[in-house]
Amino acid sequence: MTGLKRETKETTISLEIDAGGGPIDVETDEVFVTHMVETFARYAGLGLKLRATGDMKHHLMEDVAITLGLALKEEVPAEAERYGSATVPMDDALVRAAIDLGGRAWYEGTLPSDLWEHFLQAFADNLGATLHVVVDRGRDRHHVVEAAIKATGLAVRQAVRRREGGSVFSTKGSVKLEWTEEEL
């Protein structure tokens, strides 16, 4: 389990996350944001406790996504499957998501909401993941966004799962970083 607190003049976020699963308890200032973060955690198979307040919806969503990405990054095992993809139908909407947890941050999406597009980009950037979200069809913005969050969650569920045999799924092996304060 990883815990993270993030405070700015605009938001206060506290989060506990467990990639192994567990209860989900989310409270934010925005009902739809709460619903989508709960939905993401459920579909991703995560245990999650989140408390978030903010001065405006944009700041709240961005900072929740940043904190969620940073905390989940700490939970991903070196032996993770690394890749995941899913397609989710929701009434009129059909949305696909594919993710690579290989450490290269990139987001491509086509959501009909700039706020949710920004949410997924901030999440991918801070997770260090490549995330592609493709909307194949959909008229209702709520359905499209929710299908995108569900598909992303299902893709994350696959990607964070430990590989059988404990091997690292990369041609370069595991990446080792060592932070130093010495001059090189």
Contact 17/2 with Cβ under 8 angstroms? Answer: yes
What do you get for the CA distance between the two ends of the chain, in Å?
34
Please state the separation of Cα 128 from the chain's center in Å. Answer: 10
In sign, the C-alpha dihedral spanning 115, 109, 62, 67 is positive
What's the structural domain count of the chain?
Answer: 1
> Could you tell me if residue 38 is inside a domain?
yes
- 8-60 pLDDT tens trace: 999 999 999 999 999 999 999 999 999 999 999 999 999 999 999 999 999 99
> Could you tell me if residue 131 is inside a domain?
yes
Residue whose entry in the numeric block shows the structure tokens 């595991």: 174
Please state the separation of Cα 114 from the chain's center in Å. Answer: 17
Above 60 in pLDDT, residue 69? yes
> Could you tell me if residue 149 is inside a domain?
yes
> Could you tell me if residue 128 is inside a domain?
yes
| Domain span including residue 65 | 2-166
Cα 52 to Cα 12: distance, rounded to the nearest angstrom: 6
> Could you tell me if residue 182 is inside a domain?
no
Q: How many residues does the chain have?
A: 184
The overall average pLDDT reported for the chain is 93
CATH number of the domain that 58 lies in? 3.30.230.40
Above 60 in pLDDT, residue 168? no
> Could you tell me if residue 174 is inside a domain?
no
Cα 31 to Cα 7: distance, rounded to the nearest angstrom: 21
Residue 54 CA: distances (Å) to CA of 18, 118, 153: 24, 16, 24
- 143-152 pLDDT tens trace: 999 999 999 9
> Could you tell me if residue 121 is inside a domain?
yes
Cα 11 to Cα 154: distance, rounded to the nearest angstrom: 28
